[in-house]
Structure formats: structure tokens, C-alpha cells
């Protein structure tokens, strides 16, 4: 847990090689930690077993070090790396799920993405994302055993029409409205894996993170995660959302864009100071 001092994190997902956008965001996180005399964690978010591959995980540390990143805790610091790898932290996530379930903050759901998309009058937010229509909201949360319960999808019970407001350290005052910008969202999948929303909140609480620095594409996730922090009775960290790095055509960088990967840039002789 946090001792009152600044603690930040960089949290790459090894579903491809890191690109310039990742490096710039992570360097911003490093700068903010150093300016405040704080510590920086490297956490590998490798819960997507289908897309996270060993070669990407192996390359991750090497590429980040080349880009000028240095961290105080995590892989390649001489300590145990497993505790900073999400695939080895299932007990933390199950504990958070239990806490949410015990207070009725989540409910089991049988709906597939296709079911949500095809639901009659299912609303969408401005980005076109379907808002869950509440099909399973009144379903019983009782199961024969915890192991059986963990084999079901679970959604956060999101209050309708509540304004979620927070002050971003970079973008200023922001507001999202539940039921308009997002609805009941997944926190647990029937394959026994937590959603991104639950996993990062549980880990950031456990690791005592005081500020989250990440891309502005995750602003809606921040609004969702604030509800999880509240339900868990935890104080949320500060947030600093960085502008996305885009290519010459104005498209946001993606891991499939090999020309912008740190591997390709290094192979081409680029000076990492130019990132």
C-alpha cells in the first residue's frame, strides 16, 4: 500500500511490439514520478492469453530500456518479477471480485456481445459503443459454489443518470454521465479472467499507485473505474491523460504498425532522444 509518497506506474500489454505512442506516454509517467521524487513501477498486463505472446513480453523490457525508461520496481530490477505480472496475480483479482459481489455491486450476466448489439432499442454512446440494456440485472447472484460463480460473466451495476466528474491533471475538469456515456460493464469473464477495468483498479490499489498516467483513449475507462474504486471503498489515484500520438495521416498508432515500433526505429538507427 502507499506510504503517502508519489508512486506511478507504466503498464504495457504485450500483444505486440511497443511503439512511439507507448514510449511517449511512459516517458511522461517517468518524468512526473521523477519530478515528484517518487517511485515508478513497471507492471506487465498480460491477461489476454490469446494475444499476449512470449516474444512480445521478452522484447518489452529491452525496448523500454532503449527508449530511456527506468523503473524502481518490476522486471529487470533484481527483485521478483512475478508479482508485477498480472497473469500471476489472480488472488488479487478474485479478492476484488469477492468484495464487489458481497455488496451487490455486480451481477452475473449470460449476454454475449452479439446479444447486447442485437437487443431491441439498445442505446449507444457517441462513440458507437452499445450500452448494456439491463437484461440480466435482476438475475440471482446465488451459485452452488464460488468456483461456479467465477465461471460466469459479471457486470458492474452502474447507477443510471449519475454524473461522474473528475479533474484530470492534464485535461482539466471532465464529466461523464452513466447510462449515456456507458452502462453496466464487464468486470469478470466466464473464462476466469478479470476485465481490464477490474484488474487495473485492483492492482493500482494493491500497489499503492497515487497517479495513473496513460493515453486519452482511456478517459471513459477512468469514469468506469472510479465507480469500482468507490464500491471497494478505496481512494482513487490522480489521473493524467496524454494526447495520442498519430501518424502522418492523422491515425492513432497501433501495434500492427511495424514502421513505428520501437524495434524498427532502433534498427533504423533512430536516436531515442528523438522519440
Q: What is the pLDDT of residue 1?
A: 47
Beta bridge partners of 122: none
Least confident of 66-70, 90-94, 256-260: 256-260
Q: What is the pTM of this model?
A: 0.92
Least confident of 78-82, 130-134, 168-172, 221-225: 78-82
Q: Is 255 a catalytic residue?
A: yes
Task: Provide DSSP, 109-173.
Answer: E---HHHHHHSTT--B-TTSPBPP--TTTTS----SSHHHHTTSEEEE-PPTT-EEEEEETTTEE
What average pLDDT does the structure give for the chain?
Answer: 89
256: its cell numbers = 500492427
Model pLDDT for residues 197-243, shown as the tens digit of each residue = 999 999 999 999 999 999 999 999 999 999 999 999 999 999 999 98
Q: What is the pLDDT of residue 256?
A: 63
Domains of the chain from N-terminus onward: 1-87+245-275 (3.40.50.620), 89-238 (3.40.50.620)
Which of the residues 190, 255, 258, 273 is marked catalytic? 255
Amino acid at each position: 500500500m502507499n506510504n503517502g509518497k508519489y508512486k506511478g506506474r507504466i503498464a504495457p500489454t504485450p500483444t505486440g511490439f511497443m511503439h512511439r505512442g507507448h514510449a511517449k506516454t511512459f516517458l511522461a509517467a517517468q518524468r512526473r514520478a521523477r519530478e515528484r521524487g517518487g517511485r515508478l513501477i513497471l507492471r506487465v498486463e498480460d491477461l489476454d492469453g490469446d494475444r499476449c505472446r512470449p516474444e512480445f513480453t521478452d522484447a518489452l523490457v529491452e525496448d523500454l530500456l532503449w527508449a530511456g525508461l527506468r523503473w524502481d520496481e518490476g522486471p529487470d530490477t533484481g527483485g521478483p518479477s512475478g508479482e508485477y505480472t498480472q497473469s500471476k496475480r489472480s488472488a488479487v483479482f478474485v479478492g476484488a471480485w469477492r468484495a464487489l459481489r458481497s455488496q451487490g455491486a455486480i451481477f452475473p450476466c449470460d449476454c454475449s456481445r452479439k446479444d447486447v448489439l442485437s437487443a431491441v432499442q439498445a442505446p449507444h454512446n457517441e462513440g458507437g459503443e452499445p450500452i448494456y440494456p439491463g437484461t440480466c440485472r435482476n438475475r440471482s447472484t446465488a451459485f452452488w459454489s464460488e468456483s461456479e460463480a467465477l465461471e460466469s460473466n459479471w457486470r458492474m451495476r452502474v447507477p443510471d443518470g449519475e454524473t461522474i466528474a473528475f479533474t484530470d491533471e492534464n485535461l482539466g475538469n471532465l464529466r461523464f454521465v452513466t447510462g449515456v456515456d456507458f452502462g453496466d460493464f464487464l468486470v469478470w469473464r466466464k473464462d476466469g479472467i478479470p476485465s481490464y477495468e477490474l484488474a487495473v483498479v485492483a492492482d493500482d490499489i494493491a500497489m499503492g499507485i497515487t497517479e495513473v498516467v496513460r493515453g486519452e483513449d482511456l478517459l471513459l475507462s477512468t469514469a468506469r473505474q472510479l465507480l469500482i474504486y468507490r464500491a471497494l471503498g478505496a481512494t482513487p489515484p490522480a489521473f493524467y491523460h496524454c494526447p495520442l500520438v498519430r501518424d502522418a495521416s492523422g491515425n492513432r498508432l497501433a501495434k500492427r504498425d511495424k514502421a513505428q515500433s520501437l524495434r524498427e526505429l532502433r534498427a533504423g538507427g533512430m536516436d531515442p532522444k528523438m522519440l
